[in-house]
Structure 1
Amino acid sequence: MHQKSLVGARVGGVMSVVVLGSLLTAVPQAAAATPAATVAADTTCSTNVYKRTFYKNTSFSGSPVKTDCDSKISESWSGKPVSGAPKDNFGVRWSVKRDFGSGGPFTFTASATDGVRVYLDGVRKIDLWKNTGDTARSKSADLTVPSGKHTIRVDYVNWSGAAKVAFTYKPRTSAAHDRTKPLAPTGVKTAYNTKTRRTAVSWSANKEMDLASYSLYRRPVGSSTWTKVTTTTARSHTDPLVNPDDRTPYYYEVRAKDKAGNTSSGSTDIIVRPLPIVTSLTGTYAKATGKVTLKWPLNKEPHFSHYTVLSNDIVDGRYVWVPLGTTKSNTWTTAPVIADGETRHYRVLVTNTGGTTTYNPNWLDANAPHELWLAIPDGIAPYYAPDLTLGTCAGGIQATAIDYTPAPIRDFAGFEIERRTAGTATWSVVLHQGFDPRRDYATATVCDTPPTGGRTYEYRARSYDAAGNYSPASDITAVTW
């Protein structure tokens, strides 16, 4: 008959002794924590694969004998588990950190000879810590795992004899136990084929361990009704719908379903525009060059081909959209534009790789994001100089500016009269005011203080418009007082 050896282990100052047959055997009450320095820092295991460490004692102390990776816990050692470890009184620790998705109900099951303990995030869930000889026993625990990433740790010790250990964890997939919805799928990507006019959709693998299938849905932009495209276990699908005109945008989303029949919410909706669009258009006018610079967000869709820039101009007596050119860039600088104070209209169209271009109606659309209404500064001065007359008034010299242009075609807003002392270069403004629009002619008058000491004043007049542009000055008129 095989005799178990007498083994004593002290953990935290506590030792327990049990009688097996005619022998006394000491059984540790708790496994000592592994010092961080003893774990091989250079051992990295694949996703959801256990890191396994072997110890030449049952207290998991000191440097590990070996550290490697293990895809599952299912061992039966009849001798030394690895080189450097003893046949008896050794310990093995497995740990893995994995994403449980939405979490939910799980069953943890451990089976072992001698001692095995299972932890979830450091909390003990299974405790079979007893010298059993060569006979294995098992235990299961039903528990709820929260969503997200969690760490499973399995500690096993063999005091003597056969060394057998196994552990599994799996979701409970019956509707009676699992009422947790899967997480919504992520990583949804789309690709539009301009030759077939069809959309391919792909997505990342769901983290759920009890996933049954995915469902792909579609709806037209502007509609709230979803249409199921397919149900599949794959992570990609090409929508059989042929886009009717390359201009109809659709939303796509993916939903996950688990084996208990719970369905996730939809993934983030992805809009597919067979024909990319310009979402905004801005522009600036440079007074120095007279040029307009247009800018818009650069399209990065793989089926984008180029842009066409247009200006709304008069052709044969009517306004039409005139192409200025094409570009793959997201900026455009026009030729010089007359600074006439008018509003200029620009539009940017997109063409995809299939040759379809943004619909281009001839009328203006103030709400179109790819259309810009740009006010050009008025840089055109009044063409004619006003007349200037001098006379006398109660206070001195009366200066009067007059313009006889008919009211409907006047291009000025007021008059400015300036004065300087003869022989000097500096002009002083003595009048800056608008005119009475009710008069048949435009005029403005000022009574100016006369010069003294026999000096001579020189006067001139100009008209100005609302943008601050000035006409040529009138002839200079002098007066000596």
Structure 2
Amino acid sequence: MNRATRASALAATTVLATTGALLTCTSAAGAATATATCTSPVFKRQFYANTTFSGTPKKTDCDSKIDQNWGTGAPATGLPSNYFSVRWTVTRDFGSGGPFSIPVETRDGLRVYLDGTRKVDIWKNVSTTQTKTVNITIPSGTHTLRFDFVNWTGAANVKADYLPRTSATVDTVKPLVPTGTSLTYDSSYQAKFSWTANKEMDLAGYRVYRRLQGTSYGTKPLATTTSTSYTDTTLPKNGAVYYYEVRAYDKAGNESAGTADKSVTTVDRTAPAAPTGIEDSWKPDYSDKVNLSWNGNTEADLAGYNVYRSTTGRPVALTAANRLNGDTPLAYSWYQEPLPQTGDTYYYVITAVDTHGNESAASGTAEFYTRDKTGPVDTAYNAKAVEDERGVTLTWDKSEVNSDDFVGYVVIRYDKPRTESGRTPVLVGEHIQGTSFTEAAPPPGTTHYYSVVAVDDSGNGGTPSVEMPVAVAGNSTPPPPVTGTTATAKENGVALSWDASDDPGLDHYRILRGTLVDGEWVYKPLIDGWTLKPKEFTDTHYLDRMAADGEQFRYSVIAVDQYGNQLTVETGAPVQDVTELDLRPDADAGPAMGDNPVGNLHGDVTGRVAWWLSSDTGANGSKVTGFNVYRWNPSTHVFDKVDTQARGDVAGWDYYDAALPKGTTTYYRVTATLADGTETDARETAIASVD
């Protein structure tokens, strides 16, 4: 809105940069005149120094909105504060027209005209603002609205508008069909559909519809927009013709009829469907010939089929090197050829090709298997075999020629030479990629005959190496004593370390732990908890994890060779004495140890302490109702109570110590609480935690 002030009259031409009809206005103040050009829907506003709108206006300008409050002052320079009038005029295209409301607030008089016909009439001198809303129907097309305001005496103010009524129960007038449609198809294969904006004031937007040639437009639009164009990025690239139309719709839900069809012929970038049914040509056994057949495609522009073959597995690459039919597609849905007997698996796929050169995805895969009866050309030259402390070691020269399917060498030991029949082969080495191999412990006291053979991925053997006889004496001498053994007491056990043995036949180490029994040292090997056999160590250190309770031990680390030869403590294996750290609770610490119905109390490295009941009652005959768990605190020399549990209806109980310290020994005591309110003596267990 442009509010008139007491400044001098307009002296220049003003152009509002909006679209619509242009109104040329003349303003006069005394002898001065000016021209104002107002662009619809902006109002032309004229000021008169009388109440009859007669004579030449004192001022003419443009106003975007009727909303003035001049109070008791003059509306503009050169005008009186009483007995003046102001006229607003606008001419615009209302599109399809329809129901409108004209709300007004005025002091003093206001009349509203549509194409010269009075629609609102409030025409009297008043002291308070009068309000009124009048509903009218504006026909389609271009019409003129005029608002005449008069102030006789006193304060002056006016506010007015014209608004479309958008209720679906009131507005049943459809928008006009959009005009000015155009359709383009660009190099990115997108269709741009555009049109001229509708003039309806209650326009909500546009609905774009698309249909394939030969079909009808559906009820659901392709897109809804408030713009005057839409770019279709979903248009199929299949060479078909598609039609577009646009419909305008208003806020009441009324939709116009569709525009005249605009069509586009799309580029064909759509490949045929992948052929089906070739999987049924697969054979589960070995084949000498390929017979392929598949279901024929039904595309109207089908040119034929390509056949691809590969031996490198799935998926088959669709390359010219793999294509069997050259550049000309097959015109039929079958294919035959002899199958090369190379021991490979052959994979076949089919594609369909149309007349535009579009090729489908690959079909399913048909597999055919062939036999490989030819060994590799690789040969182990200059093979030799000797026995030493490591066992029997074979060496040979790398083959001068190689097969693609070579996977390695095998070493075979025979009990007789090649010249004798009935010999028994023993495979002693396989998957050998280098040029040497050692059999660590062949049976001693006899002559063995060795051969090295190259093998392909089908298990075919190449030409064997020369035969290598070896009279195996074996070895009965144990490795020398292990040196540098140390045994260090830790809070969670005894840490052992030793020097690595340089014995060529070394296989592993064994650790003996000795304890005093009736004044004599008794040695036993550390046992593997899974196999229940002596543990075999290949490192040179080990933590013998156990509760630190001050016990004395004597350790011996023994080297064991491939034949199992080893020293004993009695035959010279060195020993190392160690006394554990003593982290046991104080002797007088409570709860005291004694009679207790808790059975099988034990702990593990996870911090779990578990037990069950060996008796349902305490020593006094009172029934067990629960348990208390205590943990020894070496800092305070007190057993802290860490858990209390009700007995419940279970057969076993446990406690998880989330605060279990690492790398030390933690002692626990468990007591039972009885129905008579008393607590039994305790049982004790310990956990030597990992570092």
More contact order relative to length (CA 8 Å, sep ≥ 6): 1
**Greater Rg over alpha carbons, structure:** 2
What's the TM-score once normalised by structure 2's chain length? Answer: 0.33
What's the TM-score once normalised by structure 1's chain length? Answer: 0.47
